[in-house]
Amino acid sequence: MAALPDPRPAPDRAAAALDPVLAERLAALAAASWQHERSQATAALTKALRRRLAAGDDAAVRALLAAVPPADAPAVVQALDAAILAIDDGEDVALLARLFLLPVLFVTAGVASGAVDGAVPQIAEVVEAMQRAAALGPVDAFGLGNALAAEVQVAQVGPSRLFALARSLGTQGGTDLLTPDAIPLDTGQEQVHLRWLAGAAVTPAHAPTFVETAGQVGRWGMAVSRTLAQQLGVPGLSLLPLPRAPRPWFAALADGRFAREELGFNLFATREIRRFRAEAGDPQAELSARDDGSVRIDLWSPFEPGQRVAHAWRLDATTDLVRVEVSIRDLLRDCRVDAIGTVDRVLPAEPLPVIGAVDLLRH
């Protein structure tokens, strides 16, 4: 498989003003080549992060996140979540409130005005559906807030606040972290929106986390989707909620962003490939990395040169580019698009052909 070049600029570590200890731990992680070495480097980074969080030093943690190269971002996110949700040997803590986020994608169509409420009226019904299907494994003492929060709000929650709440011996603080962000309906066309619900599960501090014990989304996803659709429905609106797996805070941010981009591409590709086949025969595809930090997918007809549409998959600092390319190629192959080209250099960003583009709303 041809690999796309990474269009994201290298982070400026000097400008990030990294804490010296965190800089050393990050360098050790980047230098580790074997899995055992990376595991040790991640564990050392987790301990260093835990000390910064206990001191309330969000600035040092934010500087680290700004300085991480994409290749090491998943390990740093894992270390940060572990620093928040697990205890160190020296911590005298019996119980932890394991904070988590539940990403929910919403596909809307058919109504071009108004909004979907950003608060789930009866969140207890969602919790009950998840409990019945053991969504968090054997953990049944958990709560969910009813606020559907957008990305900006979720990303702004300070990691030291999460660290403190995890040790507060209750779920209430975790479920009240976010406030509702309504989902605007400004076009009748198919759109993808992303929101998160915040939750907390109280467990013994030394017990496995819900990440290790959680049940598959298939056990409870349909029930939660139906519940959300019934409670949030708007007359005339086609509303499809798609819950994702509950994850620790920063991993859930990354997972939600990836899922939004993947679903947006899937909707674009399946619709446009059907249209091409109905009008001009099988399309061809080309993948290219763009200097605005995106992967662009072009579809066009070899028989009708003017027939071209394109979609942009936006990358953030935590996105695994290989996973993105695999997802794109797998879907195109599943849709029987065999002619897939790849540009081996980063191209300038250009306006996308707008016909049929799916909106990925980030508000």
Residue scoring higher pLDDT (327 or 209): 327
Distance CA 104, CA 94 (A): 32
Predicted pLDDT of residue 208: 65
Residue scoring higher pLDDT (340 or 167): 340
pLDDT at 261 over 80: yes
pLDDT tens for each residue of 26-39: 999 999 888 889 99
pLDDT at 173 over 70: no
pLDDT confidence tier of residue 352, bands split at 50, 70 and 90: confident
Predicted pLDDT of residue 68: 92
Angle at 105 between CA 72 and CA 151, to 5 degrees: 55
Question: Whole-number mean pLDDT of the chain?
Answer: 88
- What average pLDDT does range 141-153 have in this prediction? 92
pLDDT tens for each residue of 304-348: 777 889 999 999 999 999 999 999 999 999 999 999 999 999 999
Distance CA 351, CA 298 (A): 12
Q: Which of 36, 67, 61 is nearest to 48 (CA)?
A: 61
Confidence (pTM): 0.91
Please compute Rg for the chain using Cα positions: 22
Q: Alpha carbon of 341 to those of 62, 300, 332: distances in Å? A: 38, 12, 12
pLDDT at 76 over 70: yes
Predicted pLDDT of residue 305: 72
